[in-house]
Structure 1
Amino acid sequence: MQDPNNFTNFANRSSSKWRRFPEEVLPMHVAEMDFDVAKPIRDRLSQMVANSDLGYQGPFPEIGPAFGGFALNRWGWKVEPGGIKLASDVAAAAVEILKAVTTPGEKVLINSPVYTAFFGWLKEAECEPVDAPLQLDGDTWKLDLAAIREQFENGVKVYLLCSPQNPVGRIHSAQELTEIALMAQEFDVLVISDEIHAPLSWGPFTPYLSLGQHAIETGVTITSSSKGWNTAGLKAGFLITQSDQVRNKLSRLPDAMQWRSSILGAHAMVAAYESGTPWLDETVIILQENLEHLRHEVATRLPRAKMFQMEATYLAWIDLEAYRISDLAKTILSEAKVSVIAGPDHSPQDDFKGFIRFNFASSKPRITEAVRRISELCEG
């Protein structure tokens, strides 16, 4: 599949990851893997280009059975194929859902630290984030169910859930999600569950809509194969609903969503879900090995740093607060020549100033070099 120890193989790529910063900067920021794309996807795309099959994306019944088969085999989730609606990507799906169900200025619940783009989505939809921060229990970040209930009681009607949680790599338990579904039904809250990282789980992942009637009547899932199979540039995703209650809430969604998706991206998703599981399984193993390598490097070179329990994703949440470096991510970029995502970008209140998000879906030599450079800055 891929050579996980290749240090130089990807420097000739043209995506933003490789062009945003000067060549001497190690790019460990954006969520993109330094691995080859799965052969079934590459073959499908090559065939389409060879056939000049590059027109507008129209009705696409293939996605339902493809994702449905994958979800059933992977998680035991029986998906209703008719409840799937294409979008250009997960971000576009989220924004359109928010626009359809909120009014300008309405509050939407999030749990910090959370994916930085959530705040851009809320701003585009003219919504305001309200936070029920994750709580640290030992070395595990968990949902604060009491705080979530309090916000529902205060009148919040939309909850943007990150599952698994980016950047902490937590898989929310079935028990936690069931309690959320029950509360959402009690307070008539719509749960938008962003599950794009779910395929990259090595713990037992539970899809929100698999939890029974309470979840089905309160939830809409947004997802894509783009994160799991490293094809973000193909621009295709989808949303899933399984109840008339939720579909009625989403009745204002524009029909144009499907037309704005990419025909290449749509077919790449089908190839991933139908034929990409061996590649995915191998990739998840490599990610776990890379995480252990990162933990070793951090423990050895940055002994005052803290890392946390992870069950999914390739994005490590690292606490460097003990080193007392101001403007941490910017300083790491300018002095250590490593790009990471700043901790405060994951909070509406600019919290987590001593944290960084670090992408370890790379080669082990690249991980080692990035940690070495950061340690020289921090340890002096």
Structure 2
Amino acid sequence: MSLFDTIQDRLHTRSVKWDMRKAVFSTDEVLPMWVADMDFKAPQQVLDALVSRTEHGVFGYTAVDQDVKDSIVNWLDKRHNWKINDEWLSFSPGVVTSLHMAIQALTNPGDNVIIQTPVYTPFFNVINSHDRQLVKNPLTYKNNYYTIDFEDLEEKMKQGAKALILCSPHNPVGRVWAREELERIADLCIKHEVICIADEIHGDLTLSDNKHIPFASISEEIADMTITCMAPSKTFNLAGLQASYIVTANKEMREKIDACFSSQGLGMLNTMGNVALETAYLHGEQWLDELLEILERNRNYVVEMLERHRTGLKVVQTEGTYLLWIDCSNLNMNPEELKEFMIKKAKVGLNPGASYGVEGNQFMRMNIACPKATLEEGVNRLVKAIQAN
């Protein structure tokens, strides 16, 4: 049996995904296919490195040394053909923390910040909690596929936007933006002097022939206006170890971000996160390549089953991430009814699309980073509930 088809019992591990079901869904009978972590063990080399570090037994203050920085530089070069300088790196507990720091450091209260909805829920809080003005550039949904409304994007920039938070690859719609699209965004940012804060945490998780292109790699000019937030956490299932980093070529912006981290007492990696990040980037490539095959298989299975059983549900064309964005509009339910149907009738724990903006009201997000048996159980529950409805 494949490592990725082995069921891992995550109960009683303080898992948000599994142990918080009662709190989130008001029942522990749902099969959790929601929060974005995987039901797979991390690469064995990472586990071995963590055990070795644990056996040392001393957990004092830990530095991010040159070896850790080199592992990041080499990974980005090898996997994404992006050559960076290690001096561009800053460190953070997580990408959401980095987004908060970047907004605080590089914009002012009242500034307009653009997001492209439906989009990752924390983007809303990152803007609103710091008294910035949230401006939507809704994505265009047509023929089961999402594209960017560039005319609307430019209009929003003309209205005085100071920053764009770019989700690339996009969560939850699963787009891996093409070079042409990124170049158009870059041209608009340069033209209207809008900085880009790029959340690229899913950058390693591209499917089929799709390839992630770091936004800052488009040109030196756009690199000078971009803050890129990345981590190995989604790639290697290490979210609980809280290790991420920011790449900022612009020295002035980087110093402002670092100062913001310092003012909050942040900016250091914990001991285990440090070890896991370096080891994953040095030794996790084969594991990742196998994972991507599993994710593609799982995506194709869900698409096939929902079509074969004529559920009326449509999986939006997915190019990256392990999250499926499912169009449920044929069920003719409002957002609350859809949520209740999934919990009480289907007994699957999905993310309600409405939480990603009103543009997601008729959608649900499904996490497919799980063994085949778990996926089959979740899909069968969904199919039976729809057939019985």
Aligned to 2:16: 16
258, 261, 269: which one aligns with 2:267: 258
Question: C-alpha displacement at 1:180, in angstroms?
Answer: 1.3
Question: C-alpha displacement at 1:2, in angstroms?
Answer: 5.0
| Residues 267 and 120 of structure 1, relative CA distance in 2, 3 Å threshold | same
Q: What is the CA–CA distance in structure 2 between the aligned matches of 1:268 and 1:241, rounded to whole Å?
A: 22
Aligned to 1:335: 345
User: Identity, % of aligned pairs?
Assistant: 29
| Structure having the larger proportion of residues in helix | 2
Confirm or deny that 1:285 pairs with 2:293: yes
Question: C-alpha displacement at 1:226, in angstroms?
Answer: 0.5
Question: C-alpha displacement at 1:353, in angstroms?
Answer: 1.7
| Residues 142 and 55 of structure 1, relative CA distance in 2, 3 Å threshold | farther
Per-residue deviation, residues 104-138 of structure 1 (Å, max 9, x unmatched) = 23321000111112122223333232111111243
Aligned to 1:122: 127
Q: What is the one-letter code of the residue matched to 1:238? A: Y
Aligned to 1:33: 38
Q: What is the CA–CA distance in structure 1 between the aligned matches of 2:137 and 2:95, rounded to whole Å?
A: 22
Aligned to 1:3: 3
Report the secondary structure of 1:317's partner residue.
Answer: strand
Q: What is the one-letter code of the residue matched to 2:383? A: S
Q: What is the CA–CA distance in structure 2 between the aligned matches of 1:169 and 1:61, rounded to whole Å?
A: 34
| Residues 139 and 53 of structure 1, relative CA distance in 2, 3 Å threshold | farther
Aligned to 1:176: 181
Per-residue deviation, residues 42-61 of structure 1 (Å, max 9, x unmatched) = 11111111112422333433
Report the secondary structure of 2:249's partner residue.
Answer: coil
Q: What is the CA–CA distance in structure 1 between the aligned matches of 2:272 and 2:180, rounded to whole Å?
A: 38
Q: What is the CA–CA distance in structure 1 between the aligned matches of 2:125 and 2:310, rounded to whole Å?
A: 32
Question: C-alpha displacement at 1:9, in angstroms?
Answer: 4.1
Q: Give the TM-score taking structure 2 as reference length.
A: 0.91
Question: C-alpha displacement at 1:250, in angstroms?
Answer: 3.9
Report the secondary structure of 1:335's partner residue.
Answer: helix
Q: What is the CA–CA distance in structure 1 between the aligned matches of 2:225 and 2:322, rounded to whole Å?
A: 29
Report the secondary structure of 2:232's partner residue.
Answer: coil
Aligned to 1:145: 150
Aligned to 2:80: 75
Confirm or deny that 1:239 pairs with 2:246: yes
Q: What is the CA–CA distance in structure 2 between the aligned matches of 1:53 and 1:173, rounded to whole Å?
A: 46
Report the secondary structure of 2:366's partner residue.
Answer: strand
Confirm or deny that 1:353 pairs with 2:358: no
Runs of 5+ consecutive residues of structure 1 not aligned to the other structure? none
Question: C-alpha displacement at 1:375, in angstroms?
Answer: 2.7
Per-residue deviation, residues 205-229 of structure 1 (Å, max 9, x unmatched) = 1011111112211101001000100
Q: What is the CA–CA distance in structure 2 between the aligned matches of 1:5 and 1:251, rounded to whole Å?
A: 42
Confirm or deny that 1:109 pairs with 2:118: no
Question: C-alpha displacement at 1:3, in angstroms?
Answer: 3.3
Q: What is the CA–CA distance in structure 2 between the aligned matches of 1:294 and 1:208, rounded to whole Å?
A: 30
Q: Give the TM-score taking structure 1 as reference length.
A: 0.93
201, 210, 234: which one aligns with 2:206: 201
Aligned to 2:374: 366
Aligned to 2:223: 216
- Verify the 8 A CA contact 2:216 2:222 in the aligned structure 1: yes
Report the secondary structure of 1:165's partner residue.
Answer: coil
Q: What is the CA–CA distance in structure 1 between the aligned matches of 2:328 and 2:144, rounded to whole Å?
A: 15
Runs of 5+ consecutive residues of structure 2 not aligned to the other structure? 23-27
Q: What is the CA–CA distance in structure 1 between the aligned matches of 2:380 and 2:11, rounded to whole Å?
A: 20
Q: What is the CA–CA distance in structure 2 between the aligned matches of 1:124 and 1:42, rounded to whole Å?
A: 37
Report the secondary structure of 1:351's partner residue.
Answer: helix
Q: What is the CA–CA distance in structure 2 between the aligned matches of 1:50 and 1:252, rounded to whole Å?
A: 35
Report the secondary structure of 2:138's partner residue.
Answer: coil
Question: C-alpha displacement at 1:314, in angstroms?
Answer: 0.6
Of residues 296-305 and 68-77 in structure 1, the stretch that sits farther from structure 2 once superposed is 296-305
Q: What is the CA–CA distance in structure 2 between the aligned matches of 1:330 and 1:100, rounded to whole Å?
A: 40
Q: What is the one-letter code of the residue matched to 1:188? A: E
1:181-192 equivalences in 2 (<5 Å): 181-192=186-197
Question: C-alpha displacement at 1:302, in angstroms?
Answer: 4.5
